[in-house]
Amino acid sequence: MTELITKTPTWVFILFIALLAIGFKQSKNRETSRRGLLLFPCFMIVYSSFDLIFNIGVTVWGIFFWLIGFAIAWKVTHALLTPDITFCESDNKKLCVKGSWLPLIIILGIFSVKYTQGAISTLWPEKTTTVYFIVFFSFFNGLFMGLFSARAFSYSMLENKPKSDRGNDYSF
Q: How confident is the model at residue 51 (pLDDT cuts 50, 70, 90)?
A: confident
Task: Name the packing angle between helices 102-123 and 131-160 (round to 10°).
Answer: 150
Residue 90 in contact with residue 162, Cβ under 8 Å? no
Looking at residue 27, the DSSP 8-state letter turns out to be: T
Average pLDDT over residues 81-95: 66
* Nearest alpha-carbon partner for 26 in 100, 136, 113, 91: 100
Phi then psi dihedrals of residue 30, to 5 deg: -155, 160
Phi then psi dihedrals of residue 138, to 5 deg: -65, -40
How large a percentage of the chain has pLDDT more than 70?
Answer: 83
What is the pTM assigned to this prediction? 0.76
Long-range contacts of 2-8 (CB under 8 A, 24+ apart): 4/119, 4/123, 7/122
pLDDT by residue (tens digit) across 58-74?
788 888 999 999 999 98
Q: Is 13 exposed, middle or buried (0-12, 13-18, 19+ CB in 10 A)?
A: exposed
Determine the 3-state secondary structure of 87 from DSSP. Answer: strand
pLDDT by residue (tens digit) across 11-32?
999 999 999 998 898 888 888 7
